[in-house]
Structure 1
Amino acid sequence: MTRSSNPDVTVLNYAEKTKISTGILQLDEILHHLRLGDNVVWKVENLDDYRYFASKFIQEGIRSGYTCVYVRFAPHKPVLEKIEGLNIVTVDPGHGFDYFSSQVHRIIESYGKKVFYVFDNLSSLVDEWATDELVANFFKVTCPYLFELDTIGYFALTRGQHSHSAVAAIRDTTQVLIDYYHIKNRTYIHPLKIYARYSPSMFLPHLVSGRQWKPVFESGEAATISSRDREKVLRRGSLTTAPWDSVYTQLKMHYEMGNLQTHLDPEIIALKKELSRMIIGDHPKFNQLADTYFTLEDLLSIRDRMIGSGRIGGKAAGMLLSRKIIQNSKIENISDMIEPHDSFYIGSDVFFTFMINNGLFRLKLKLSDSSSMTMEEFKEVERRFLDGEFPYEIMEQFKDMLDYFGQAPIIIRSSSLQEDSYGNAFAGKYRSEFCANQGSPDERLKVFINAVKLVYASSLNPDALSYRRSRGLQYEDEQMAILVQRVSGTPYKEYFFPPLAGVTFSKNLFTWTKRIDPDKGVVRLVFGLGTRAVDRVGRDYPRMIAVSHPTLRPETGMKIMKYSQWDVDAIDLEKNKLITIPFHKLVEKCDYPNLKMFISLMRDGYIEDPSTGKISCSSEQMVLTFNNLIKKTSFVRNIANILETVESVYEQPVDIEFTASIEGSKDIRINIVQCRPMTIPGITSHISIPENVPQEDILFRSSMVINAGEVENIGYILYIDPESYEELNNLDIKRSIGRVVGRINKKLNEIGATFILMGPGRWGSSNIELGVNATYSEIDNTSVLVEIAREKAGHTPEVSYGTHFFQDLVENEIIYTPVYPDRKDSNFNYQFFRESKNYLPDILPDDSDFIDMVKLIDLKAESGGNYAVMIADQYEQRAMCYLKKVGRGSSLNQQI
């Protein structure tokens, strides 16, 4: 109900009205009882379902002393039988809409206030009036009048027999809308709208069983029941003669007629390919895979889940294709372990319609042409997007989708046309927004729309624009579609999250021991939402699992505890937002299901794995190692099968984001949420590192190599001293260092310089205490990125293989390595870095205040005519940077 039904009644006053029972205890608990003024519309599959609820309601009304009226007008069997205390009135709809509506109005007027009504099935009126619109109009004039008189009315609609526009009009007018349906031998009730009442589970599907009607929280079960045997979710306007609708309509006709032999019928084959190109795009490899793996039913299902029109984008296409590849695999049981997906797609056409309607298209052109934009300037771009509005039809489809999800948490993910394609990953460049999706329907809609706008705005963020320019894509068609996914997981206390999430690669570029087979892949695994697996956040270290040797770790002994996950990302259902919570606080009662599979215990300085389900220790003694999961379940084997299956079809390595859960004690369920071709560095073979370099010419060595490569003619090093950074107490200056790095990055690129960036801890960290918070666009021109690990300064680099940050470095062919100066084998040349002149004021006079923290070294000027060479051998896990004589080139001073 909108406020227009009775603007004088506030939500608060309405909620405080006398509670009325439905006659069914379980339903009262879900709805928080009825209120005088409620109109209750039931969407049912058969009249017997409606008859059951209506009879219970009327029996309760008569018992409580209310006047009860049954309005009879349909040819179907009576909803209610004659009983004492029930008034039955009959109205003939055959005389037309005007007569019928007037007669009903007079009946309501004659009975007065606080009356309980049951009406026959509204769907029968379509047979009389031949139009959905008049049915909706009857309800729109009747419902408000009943509301004003503090009555309660029960109405029914037959599911799937009405246009979306008619149902939408009824939904917008009524106070309570309930969907009641059967799937196989189970029955579900799903409140879609309840005015002026709210609970964290109110708008979820509930399993109707026995004395307790339980809300369905677990994402896999919810996806299964919500997507199976349900009517089309999205309301649409009238179809046009445009090619999109024409192709869809013809294929839908063939499908409904049972003409599914697409491999035999040339017309269907042609139409199917045409619809596939409209949805997927025109990339040859994706088209080949789509034609092979998507059935006609798959394509129609995608279209039925699409808001607006256009393409679904690379992220959505990759997710859907990888799932179909796995489901079609001949590997035993591999398809059974895949959790059903439950996604919607906002078509790419909606993006440009939004841009044009809100005067943002010229802004897009301007920013695509410009050379740079700061993150502060980008905030204004976001503001302009947030001020934009969507067309009415799109808004109505947003409402339909949110009704479908109820209060299940969702994630709004970018899915641009170029994203996750062959050659361009756009990893982490565009935005994803979690929606806890709690609150009233209007509140949830507002949050969702803002999330969509922020994802749209991210198409113009500095990192994305820099990435596109570096890949020569700034003038290519880059429309932004959006993938809306149900968040995988289950509720625990007031939180919602999956027990397992991560990213896995079919090639392991970080083989920390020669025993590991790089062709078997690697996993970055975390507890909770997968954000901590793909981003460099906080103090956390995901569990690195080499698929060929899953029990081997890069760390040993007490370092296992240090290099583990400490914090968990989850959705707080009470606070209605994404939060980060310490793991030991989350599981402080040690009652999380299958906890023994995720943790090890720290006792007397040793780590041991629990052998039973009963955990007899405090949560502070727990370490997230996932040891029992790896040793005692099929998790790693399942991941290996998935990687091998998808890689063989893609015909190149892949990286896959996933969530997972444990069913029972050992059965693993995996949900593929993203899949894209994996970028492999240009050099992966053995590279020779010279052994006869004089000690004084070595700048540093590293015994940990993330990606291999060789760079010569390095003229400059930008060096941020770890001790100076640690001693800096001014947080504003610390936050600004990344901006200074960005300006140096731009300046050195303008003069054609080859340079190294060296800094403490984690480059790109959101936490300035852990490292320099430079963005991708502020480091994208470097040839080598070095993370300096000083144990006493508290700066320890993360092995960031598998993060979006790492993906950027690989695609840009930037050598990336940590260096541990405190180790003797690092040969770290402190004297050179400390005594070299700082050329920062020479190229950026306005940044001279940073001279004590940021040092720019001109190697030729400071080493008597030398340049630097960087060689990284991934196979041997060795890297060295050293000075070498140069016979050409000029110093920085000469170039500027």
Structure 2
Amino acid sequence: MEKIDLQRIYKRKKTDRDIFQELMAFKVKEILLIANYYDAYTIEREGQFTDKVYGEYLQVNLYTAPRFISVASEEEALDVLAKRKIHLIVIMAGLDKQTPQLISLHLKSKYKDIPQLMLVNNNADLAYFDSIEDQLSQSIERIFVWNGSTKIFLAMAKYIEDKVNLETDTRLGDIRVILLVEDSIRYYSRYLPLLYSEIVTQTQELIRNEPENDELSLIMKIRVRPKVILVSTFEEGVAIIDKYRDNLLCVISDVKYSRNGVEDEDAGVDLIEYTHQADDKIPCLLQSHDVENAKRAKAVNAEFINKNSVTLSHEITRFIKEKLGFGDFIFKNSSGKPIDKASSIEEFKHKLTTIPDESLKYHSIRNGISTWFMARGQISLAKRLRRYRFEDFKTVDEIRRFILQVFEGYELKKIRGRIINFRPQLVNSNRYIVSLGKGSFGGKGRGMAFLSNFIENVSFRKLIPELKIAIPKTAIIGVEEYDNFIEINNLIQTIYTEKNYEIVKDAFIRGSLSLQLRQKLRSYLEIMKRPLAIRSSGLFEDSLSQPFAGVYATYLIPNNHPDLERRLQELETAIKLVYASIYTDDSRAYFNAIDYVIEEEKMAVIIQEVVGQEHNGKYYPNVSGVAQSYNFYPFSYIKPEDGFAVIAVGLGAYVVGGEKTYRFCPRYPRLQLASIQDMMRDSQKYFYAIDLGRSDYDLAKDGEQAAITSYDLKEAEADGTLTYSASVYDFLNERIVYDFNSRGSRIVNFPGLLEYDQIPLPKTLDILLDIFSQAMGSPVEIEFSLNIENQIPTLYLLQIKPLIKNDFWVDIDQLPIDTQRMLMRATKGMGNGKIENIQDVIYIDPDKFNRLKTEEMAEEIKSLNQKMTALDRNYLLIGPGRWGTRDPLTGIPVTWSDISKAQVIVEQGLKDYPLDASLGSHFFHNVTSMKVGYFAIPYDSGDSFINFDILKKQETVEELKYARHIRFTAPLTILMDGKKQTAVILYGENE
């Protein structure tokens, strides 16, 4: 299949959040400050300059303060510019005024695109720089005056950012513009910092008061604050008004400044009149140090502020709140008298239905509603309302209905593919994810949110018209509820000191969830009455850097008891058991192996509707499976990048348990090497389902399988769910036929899906693996279920997680390898890199192997692993058959905690015990994330071998009935070629 162009098919539905991310593309992150040592000292004083600048940013809750690099000469400046990406150059001019000018000119000739600002030491020097304004303008964009406050640096950075981003941001986000016309360096150096601080503060205050704003939303919504554009002449002011008339939020103007190249005492007043000719609803503010100008301001319907007023900050705050949409929305009657107010968007929507027609008409004519919404970061809503004017409607009632329809459509559109706060009426849909508690969603939760968003932004109907793609109905409890649970039940001491999992588990079960969460869960269950899967989602789980896969618990519950309180109790118990699963022996072993502190882990919980439907009292999907985009066991012409999938009938617990599933390559689904005998032997014989008639299960006692029952495959056939999944072995003719009327054993090989394309599952998986691996920038694993209800097949995506793969490949064929020192060579497996710190080998003695005693062998391996864990020593593990299988006849049934210190694992075939190479079953992710090598040595393979003679000669550390622990005197050299799936292990020359 040709590689899919992700950018072509991923048509993101732009939400406000998307627009926020595109805004402020240019950020001043690196500032080069050029000042001689004396001037630098003037700024830095006691060395606290950087801290103070960061303090100014933090005071207004801006999270990305620029970094300053200070130099004292042109030579140093050029050196920095050659090595770093500088966004702004600030040149300090103090006692020496000539040198800064020369430096500025020289730098401009070499770095034309970097803006330069000059910072003058005090007001007394301004007259000199006014006199050389034309000369300075060749390289200096604007001059500011330093009056001892580091706020000036915030203003300089924001001034440049707003100027650069103005055109793009007004186009993308309809961002509003505050025009400041001032030519006095002294005054705009004082005025601009004050204006920026107030605007940012007011923007944050109103955004925080809106519901559904997390910290990230707050940070991004700050980007919709109005741009402050500073100009100094009448002509520049007119140009901004003409170009950004529809975005102009207000005009703040001095009275006297240049018009036609000369000082004009009427320029400010005339500019306000020009503004009102363009739009008489634009608020204007005339500011002057001469209070006599207050009369002139009133004459042109403008506010007035005395620039020298001691209450300047208070007056600016009042103007911003009352005139620019930052305060409450004040509903007024036809004469402009206030009659009501709304403090939030929800309150506005409610009062919109009750305010008199005259009030709605008053505000519609003035178009102030969209301004108020824009100030609150509701870009899409504001833009939609802004397109229409009062004249576009026949009646006021029509306007009212239109605004309410815009609200409703906007709400539905914006939640698709999103995470929404819990509302009972929105539970029963899979178009979004419902949040039942605050805090991070953990690794799996992030994966589900990503899937939900992706499905809404890709037209899968065009790519795969025969199969619907969806996620199950999903709700997530954030990690804050886990913290609440630990705190209100006084479990801190327990989780820090108690190592016995059973004691921890009992303490968790006795605990109580918060009252608020219990109320939400009760309301949730009043709507949701189908079986539920309660899944773990730890902070570290399935992350790109360290996926804790298969370590924590998942519980399935029928959720069908007639008593709501009984169902609530079952759900609460499952949640608490998921919380407790952080502290299982397996989990502790994993944390120790990767050197993480277990107390740093926190748990979110995913509650998903179980995919499937009822069949004669059983609940299960037609097919469950796992697909990966990178295949470490390719054969024939299959490439590792073609991926693979394993599928089975029934619930997915069968698949992740490492049992007999059907494996295929989605790109070449018909390509199989298995003989009829192999297919008969390895075919699925039973399946898992939820028994809807059972009520005697005990989650705490029986574990994750408590509510799950295994059924003979005959029951699936009786349910009619084998239609696409099984064939019949025609023993008379030694063939496999796709005909259930034939007599013979059923073989689960999914012919309807893989051979006859009745449902395009392989094609779909191939497409999904391709686009998701592109989207995540990593090989991926997808867990899925296929359900066919009312003849409509739907593929549900249950989880997605990254597969960690090393970036550095070892090419064994290109290395000078001494074949006389080979302990092992494998031509099939996984792993990559070079390991040189292992001296220990634990292996099952092939001479003592007994296929009926593999469970005893597993106990011996567990015992040796515990001792290696105590010593903190990694080792090479070798044994017959599959490691980690649940079928003791096919290998050694260990869990991950039983072999957690194994750095390289080898599966070996024996003469009468052929090897069916596995992928480490359910601990495959642990193997890959911890960079464990995993290799297969088939019996009597010419290219692959293990030199047991060398192993027998080594020092015996401990020998048990079946297992042997030996130690080499020098570390082994382990080379793993990830591209060719080969490995070589070398021992020292004197062994």
Is TM > 0.5 for Structure 1 vs Structure 2?
Answer: yes
Distance (whole Å) between structure 1 residues aligned to residue 372 and residue 778 of structure 2: 27
Report matched runs for 1:464-479 at 5 Å: 464-474=587-597, 477-479=600-602
What are the Cα deviations for residues 632-651 of structure 1, in whole angstroms up to 9, with x where unaligned? Answer: 13111112222233333333
- Opposite residue 987 of structure 2, the aligned amino acid is L
Deviation at 1:521, TM superposition (A): 2.5
* Aligned-CA RMSD value: 3.8
Give the structure 1 partner of residue 475 of structure 2.
344
Within the candidate set 931, 935, 938, 1:813 is matched to 931
- In structure 2, the residue matched to 1:871 is 975
Correspondence for 2:963 among 831, 847, 854: 854
Q: Deviation per CA, 1:107-156: give whole Å up to 9, x if none.
A: xxxxxxxxxxxxxxxxxxxxxxxxxxxxxxxxxxxxxxxxxxxxxxxxxx
**TM-score, length-scaled by structure 1:** 0.59
Shift of 1:533: 2.3
Give the aligned residue type for 2:452.
R
Residue 812 (structure 2) aligned to one of 661, 666, 687: 687
Which residue does 1:658 correspond to in 2? 784
- CA, structure 1 residues 302+657, in 2 after alignment: closer, same or farther (shift >3 Å)? farther
CA distance in 1 between partners of 2:626 and 2:851 (Å):
36
Instruction: Report the Cα distance in structure 2 between the residues aligned to 1:600 and 1:363, rounded to whole angstroms.
Output: 55
SS of equivalent to 2:912:
helix
Residue 644, structure 1, aligned to residue 770, structure 2: yes
Deviation of the 1:475 alpha carbon: 7.1
Aligned to 1:170: none
1:549 maps to 2:672: no
Contact 2:810 2:834 in 1 (8 A): no
**Paired position in structure 1 for 2:511:** 388
Q: C-alpha deviations, 1:246-302, integer Å up to 9, x for none?
A: 749956568888999999936235999xxxxxxxxxxxxxxxxxxxx9935654634
2:720 equivalent in structure 1 = 592
**Alpha-carbon shift at residue 398 of structure 1 (Å):** 2.3
For 1:783, the aligned partner's letter is Q
Partner of 2:377: 268
Displacement after TM superposition at 1:242 (Å): 8.9
For residues 804 and 271 of structure 1, the distance between their equivalents in structure 2, rounded to whole angstroms, comes to 45
Is contact 1:502–1:526 with CA below 8 Å preserved after alignment? yes
Please name the residue that 2:606 is paired with. Answer: 483
Q: What are the Cα deviations for residues 845-889 of structure 1, in whole angstroms up to 9, with x where unaligned? A: xxxxx62222111223xxxxx653333445445444343427xxx
Tell me if the contact between 2:533 and 2:609 (Cα under 8 Å) persists in the aligned partners.
yes
Does the 8 Å contact 1:505/1:523 carry over to 2?
yes
Alignment CA distance shift 1:507-1:820 (3 Å): closer
Give the Å deviation of 1:796: 4.4
3-state DSSP of counterpart to 1:415: strand
Letter in 2 for 1:726: N
**Shift of residue 725 of structure 1?**
4.9
- Please give the alpha-carbon distance, in whole angstroms, between the structure 1 residues aligned to 2:669 and 2:584: 38
Give, in whole Å, the separation in 2 of the partners of 1:578 and 1:260. Answer: 54
Q: In the alignment, is residue 497 of structure 1 matched against residue 626 of structure 2?
A: no
Give the Å deviation of 1:722.
Answer: 4.8
Kept in 2, the 8 Å contact 1:496–1:572? The answer is yes
The percentage of aligned residue pairs carrying the same residue is 22
**Alpha-carbon separation, structure 1, partners of 2:831 and 2:725:** 32
Q: Secondary structure at the match of 1:526?
A: strand
Paired with 1:364 and 1:418, the residues of 2 have a C-alpha distance of 18
* SS of residue paired to 1:510: coil
For 1:419, what is the secondary structure of its paired residue?
coil
Q: Structure 1 residues 271 and 884 mapped into 2: Cα distance closer, same or farther (>3 Å)?
A: farther
Contact persistence 2:210–2:344 (CA under 8 A): no
Q: Identify the match of residue 328 of structure 1 among 457, 463, 480.
A: 457
Pair 1:837–1:466, CA change in 2 (3 A): closer
Pairwise mapping of residues 153-232 of structure 1 onto structure 2 (< 5 A)?
none
Query: Hey, what does 2:800 align to over in structure 1?
Result: 675
Post-superposition CA distance 1:783-806 (Å, at most 9, x none): 21112333635x7454226x5411
Q: Which residue of 2 aligns with 1:458?
A: 581
Structure 2 distance, partners of 1:470, 1:729, is 28
Contact 1:325–1:646 (8 Å) recurs in 2 = no
- Partners of 1:262 and 1:519 in 2: CA distance: 52
| Aligned-residue offset at 1:425 | 1.7
- Checking the alignment, whether the CA contact within 8 Å between 1:558 and 1:606 is kept in structure 2 is no
SS at match of 1:859: strand
SS in 2 for 1:646: helix
C-alpha distance in 2 between matches for 1:730 and 1:707: 26
Q: Residue 310 of structure 1 aligns with which residue?
A: 439
Contact 1:263 1:269 in 2 (8 A): no
Which deviations, in whole Å up to 9, do the C-alpha atoms of 1:461-495 show, x marking residues without a partner? 23333434544542785321111111001222232
Contact 1:325–1:649, Cα closer than 8 Å, also in 2: no
Which whole-Å CA distance do the structure 1 matches of 2:851 and 2:660 have between them?
A: 25
- Which of 486, 502, 524 is residue 401 of structure 1 equivalent to? 524
Partner of 2:912: 792
Note closer, same or farther for the CA distance 1:547–1:340 as it changes in structure 2 (3 Å cut). closer
Cα pair 1:598 1:629 within 8 Å, conserved: no
Correspondence for 1:741 among 864, 880, 896: 864
Secondary structure of the equivalent of 1:679?
coil
Q: Give the match's secondary structure for 1:434.
A: strand
SS in structure 2 of the partner of residue 401 of structure 1: helix
In 1, Cα distance between the equivalents of 2:912 and 2:371? Answer: 67
Inter-partner Cα distance in structure 2 for 1:781 and 1:267: 54
Question: Aligned AA for 1:724?
Answer: K
Which of the pair has the greater relative contact order for Cα pairs under 8 Å at 6+ separation?
1
Report the Cα offset of residue 427 of structure 1: 0.6
Q: Deviations for 1:517-548, whole angstroms, at most 9, x for unmatched residues?
A: 33333212221111232232xxx332222222
Residue 680 to residue 748, structure 1, CA distance change in 2 (3 Å): same
1:559 is aligned to 2:712: no
Does 257-266 or 697-706 show the bigger shift?
257-266
1:587-621, CA deviations, whole angstroms, 9 ceiling, x for partnerless residues? 354x62452444353534744241x5x43224xx1
Question: Structure 2-normalised TM-score?
Answer: 0.53
Aligned residue in 2 for 1:779: 899
Residue 537 of structure 2 corresponds to residue 415 of structure 1: yes
Structure 2: gaps spanning 5 or more residues: 1-206, 215-342, 354-367, 382-411, 424-433, 696-705
Structure 1 position 580, deviation (Å): 4.8
The equivalent of 2:877 in structure 1 is: 757
Residues 263, 747 of structure 1: alpha-carbon distance in 2 compared, 3 angstrom cutoff: farther
Alpha-carbon deviations, 1:416-475, whole Å to 9, x = none?
233222212211111111112243323323322221111000112233334345445427
Residue pair 1:710, 1:869 contacting (<8 A) in 2 also: yes
Unmatched runs of 5 consecutive residues or more in structure 1: 1-240, 273-292, 368-372, 841-849, 861-865, 892-896
Change (3 A) 1:494 1:822: farther
Paired positions, count: 587
Tell me, yes or no, if the aligned pair for 2:614 and 2:620 is still in contact at 8 Å: yes
CA 1:294–1:762 in structure 2 vs 1: closer, same or farther (change >3 Å)? Answer: farther
What per-residue deviation string (whole Å, max 9, x for no partner) do you get for residues 142-173 of structure 1? xxxxxxxxxxxxxxxxxxxxxxxxxxxxxxxx
Question: CA, structure 1 residues 495+551, in 2 after alignment: closer, same or farther (shift >3 Å)?
Answer: same
User: Hey, what does 1:521 align to over in structure 2?
Assistant: 643
Correspondent of 1:615 among 713, 731, 741: 741
- Whether the 8 Å contact between 2:838 and 2:876 is mirrored in structure 1 is yes
C-alpha contact 2:630 2:642 (8 A) present in aligned 1: yes
Q: Tell me how far apart the structure 2 counterparts of residues 875 and 564 of structure 1 sit (CA, whole Å).
A: 31
Q: Distance in 2 between matches of 1:660 and 1:262?
A: 48
Q: What's the counterpart of residue 153 of structure 1?
A: none
Relative to structure 1, is the Cα distance of residues 388 and 679 closer, same or farther in structure 2, using a 3 angstrom cutoff?
A: same
Q: Deviations over 1:67-126 (max 9, x none)?
A: xxxxxxxxxxxxxxxxxxxxxxxxxxxxxxxxxxxxxxxxxxxxxxxxxxxxxxxxxxxx
The answer (yes or no) to whether the contact 1:700–1:826 under 8 Å persists in 2 is yes
Kept in 2, the 8 Å contact 1:307–1:397? The answer is yes
